[in-house]
Structure 1
């Protein structure tokens, strides 16, 4: 099986229309991303409520850190999900794995919604929560990279910018929905009720939505041809991954830098605002909802602008912009919703630029024969090592009065992502969306 160098001009790309089958496929893939990110972000946003319910609550900050630690453990299992489910996707096809990942997320979200608390069953509550997050980590480890790869394979060559925008739109819709549901629950139920049982409501919403997405994904088109699947033994798949090891390393940092920035803005800063600076929860959720709107609208705008253009060029520009913009968080050093809003929304423009492009850029570095395994492995490691620890690291550094270290850390990741991307691109010769 040979790798194909794909190049197409802007005009021909825009003339490539999408069939109804492709549009339905993109809808099913996109809504799966909405579900995964909704369920994932709800846990991060509600960690200040979840912690005291599943762990000893004498010290609220310690309980919150325990919940964030469980949040990070879920990230640690993303590489395993990438290895297992990504390999299956290259061997048996994309559609079935996309169904599995959605089902895993829906079931575990329902379990979290109904799980007894620490006061009711003791330490078993924390163990159940941990096991659910492990399964969700495995599920999410393949969802984002494989659904993007699946979408890129569905559309005509040259429409990768459109895919970047549409998948990012659905991802950010999940983030927005998580913030919106959390905000509405906090507004209608009050902080006391949220701390008692109201935190369960967003998880129930996620579980119901999950089973709807499972139904919609039954008709996803398969992009792997029978002859391609016949050639793809596990040995062949991982032989390809080893051959493109530099691409996997580049994907790890391309994803890791973007996700460290993302989780700092979407969970780390809001958690610090509520736990360290004691900001009003309803105001914090309102502002994270505004951030979600910026990400949703911005992803469509970035995708439309990038459609038919060189994604490589725009990735390098947007990633370079993230280096100075991450230092905005140093403005938020004392209580005050105004300072929190300035940081959160001030960094949102560069955030949406990076979050729209990074997954399609990652897919461009691997050939189709091992794209599921290779992109999922790099994605899983990047998110686990750099994204999943970002919220905990930010809150911990703030507690030590050393918050300045975090933006330096993210800036270094961004620089490394640029270096490894350029090196891998020169070596691989696979130019999707050039």
Structure 2
């Protein structure tokens, strides 16, 4: 099916313009979705003091990171509901809705009074906000992937979908940048009183911009053509009955993606304060570097994967993380410093880009357009919920129980082994076709 045949106007110049708009709409919207998750994870220690003052520092932190994980409980629900909407009603409608829901959730976190002022209502409102954000984020990845891969030229689908991962890098960079500015310019009292709210309130401003851009972009040509000929009555039922193996293969590959992202990019600032006893600014600065590497490397690797295939990059990155997770963690544990964190984040930021840039197109190849958003959303969000969202909680708990700061390394290594098995489903085109049948 040609993208050009269903697009008006048909000339290449106009089509290229629509494709650039599709990338911009996805980067801004998806980046906003991840911006809030970034700033929440980076201010987890401060949020613990504001909303979970148990009198025990570890218990407060566990409650804070558990609340971070609670949002992931809603992700499969949001993935199913918004994924079905994307396949039934349209990519544009679903993606516009997700950004509105995320803006509301982000605003709630930013304006909720502390536990000291309103008591138990404070953590309850924060949990509600996290659930709303989780529901929204659950529909983002599947919808955004379908949107970009369906707009992309056939020979550049991995490059286009890699911009989704680049937008996550942008979110990490901007989130940590604002976090660094706030923590470096405010004293401890001001930071705890109101400074930590600034990134959340600034994030709300991105919502209307993202909605405006997404609401003005046209529906994808592939979806427009498919809607007239082969739209399914129940995308979720078709996924369960017809594509269970494709869903499981995607699920297994996502495990390393989500574990590596949340351990290396989102948990490290908390880890650097709690376990390495470095200042919060060190974790934020190293996070900025990791986000920058992810932002720059993702499209480059996407281009290369279009030429050489997705599986070589997926497999090489998984093996590299399996080999280097333990020695790199041992290095920063034994010689903690800002310099060590910068090398650590740059190294793993590149490996995350190497693994995640090709993964969405590889997964998209396993599903037809009529159930693409639903299939990706189900596989992605269940893996994220089980292995990514509660990863910081389990790691924090394991470190406290075992007394070993090496717990994150073992968590990543286990994810590498599981996801390596999933990448074998992408051995070659014939294998992918065999899975699909």
Asked if the contact 1:332/1:340 (under 8 Å) is kept, the reply is yes
Distance 1:418 1:200 in 2: 40
Shift in Å, 1:431: 10
1:124-139 aligned within 5 A? 124-139=121-136
1:227-238 aligned within 5 A? 228=227, 231-235=230-234, 237-238=236-237
Distance 1:122 1:230 in 2: 55
The SS at the match of 1:354 is helix
Matched, 1:69 2:73: no
Counterpart of 2:433 (choices 416, 429, 434) is 429
* Consecutive unaligned residues in structure 1, runs of 5 or more: 7-14
Q: What's 2:261 paired with?
A: 262
1:278-357 aligned within 5 A? 278-327=277-326, 328-333=328-333, 336-338=336-338, 339-357=340-358
* Consecutive unaligned residues in structure 2, runs of 5 or more: 4-11
Q: Deviations over 1:57-82 (max 9, x none)?
A: 52233212211001111112111111
Counterpart of 2:184 (choices 184, 187, 200) is 187
Distance 1:254 1:75 in 2: 18
C-alpha RMSD of matched pairs (Å): 2.6
Change in Cα spacing, 1:259 to 1:240, as seen in structure 2 (3 Å) is closer
Asked if the contact 1:92/1:229 (under 8 Å) is kept, the reply is no
Shift in Å, 1:304: 3.1
Q: What's 2:410 paired with?
A: 408
Change in Cα spacing, 1:149 to 1:309, as seen in structure 2 (3 Å) is farther
Shift in Å, 1:307: 3.5
Distance 1:322 1:423 in 2: 20
Bigger shift: 272-281 or 73-82? Answer: 272-281
The SS at the match of 2:31 is helix
Higher relative contact order (CA 8 A, sep 6+): 1
Shift in Å, 1:25: 1.6
Distance 2:363 2:325 in 1: 22
Bigger shift: 79-88 or 293-302? Answer: 293-302
TM-score of the two chains, using structure 1 as the length reference: 0.90
The SS at the match of 1:222 is coil
Q: How many residues align?
A: 421
Q: Deviations over 1:341-370 (max 9, x none)?
A: 443333332122123222222222222111
Distance 2:15 2:322 in 1: 36
Q: What's 1:9 paired with?
A: none
Shift in Å, 1:230: 6.8
TM-score of the two chains, using structure 2 as the length reference: 0.89
